[in-house]
Chains A and B, each alone.
Chain A
Amino acid sequence: MMTPRFKWKNLAVLLLCLVLALLPWAINPFRVRVFVLGGIYAIATTGLTLFMGFTGQISIGQAAFFGIGAYTSAILTKAGLPFIFSFPASGLVASLCGLIIGFPCLRARTFYLAMATLAFGLSMTIIFKNWTSLTGGVSGMGGIPAADIGPFVLDGFISYYYLVWIITAIVLFLAYRLTRSYFGLTLRAIGDNEIAAESLGIRGYVFRLISFLICSFLAGIAGSLFAHLDRVIAPENFTSEESIIFLSMAVIGGLRSIYGGLIGAIVFTLIGEQLRSLDRAQVIVVGGLLVFLVIFLPRGLVSFPEKLERGVNRLRGRVSVEDSP
Chain B
Amino acid sequence: METVIQQIIFGITVGATYSLVALGFSMQFRAMNLLNFAHGESFMMGAFIGLFFHVFLKLPLLLSWGITMAACGFIGIIIERIAIRPLYKAPPLNLFICSIGIAMILRQISNILSGAVSYKFPATLSEAPVQIGVITIVPEQLWVIGMALLLMFAFEQFLKKTRTGKAMRAVAQDPYTASLMGISVLRMKSVVYAVSTMLGGAAGILYAPLAYVTFDMGLWNGIKGFICAVVGGIGNIPGAILGGFLLGLIEQFNSSYLTSLYKDVISFFILIIVIAVRPKGLLIRSKREKV
Contact = CB atoms under 8 A, between A and B. Distances in A.
Contact of B275 (A52, A116, A130, A281): A116
Interface string A88-115: 0000000000000100110111111111
B100 A107 contact: no
Given A115-B226, A119-B271, A195-B289, A280 B98 contact: no
Interface stretch (A74-82, A121-129, A207-215): A121-129
A290 B98 contact: yes
Given A112-B230, A115-B227, A294 B101 contact: yes
B108 A105 contact: no
Given A199-B291, A284-B105, A294 B264 contact: no
Contact of B101 (A108, A112, A120, A287): A287
Contact of B276 (A105, A123, A130, A199): A105
A52 B112 CA distance: 34
B275 A126 contact: no
B279 A122 contact: no
B282 to A, nearest CB: 12
Contact of B97 (A104, A113, A248): A248
Chain B residues touching A, majority SS: helix
Nearest to B91: A298
Contacts of A112: 230, 234, 275, 279-281
A189 interface: no
A120 B272 contact: yes
A203 B56 CA distance: 60
Interface in B96-117: 96-98, 100-105, 107-109, 111-112
B56 to A, nearest CB: 22
A290 B264 contact: no
B154 interface: no
A190 interface: no
A266 interface: no
A contact residues, range: 35 or more
Interface residues of B, number: 45
Given A130-B261, A286-B104, A295-B83, A251 B97 contact: yes
Contact of A294 (B90, B109, B280, B291): B90
Contacts of B98: 290-291, 294-295
Given A248-B100, A291-B102, A107 B268 contact: no
Centre residue among A111, A196, A286 by max chain B CB count within 10 A: A111
Given A108-B276, A290-B101, A295-B86, 4 more contacts: A118-B226, A127-B265, A247-B97, A287-B105
Interface of A: 52, 58, 101, 104-105, 107-116, 118-120, 122-123, 126-127, 130, 195-196, 199, 244, 247-248, 251-252, 255, 280-281, 283-284, 286-291, 294-295, 298
24 contacts: A104-B272, A105-B275, A107-B276, A107-B279, A108-B276, A111-B92, A112-B230, A115-B226, A115-B230, A115-B275, A247-B100, A251-B93, A252-B97, A287-B100, A287-B102, A287-B103, A287-B104, A287-B108, A291-B83, A291-B101, A295-B86, A295-B87, A298-B87, A298-B94
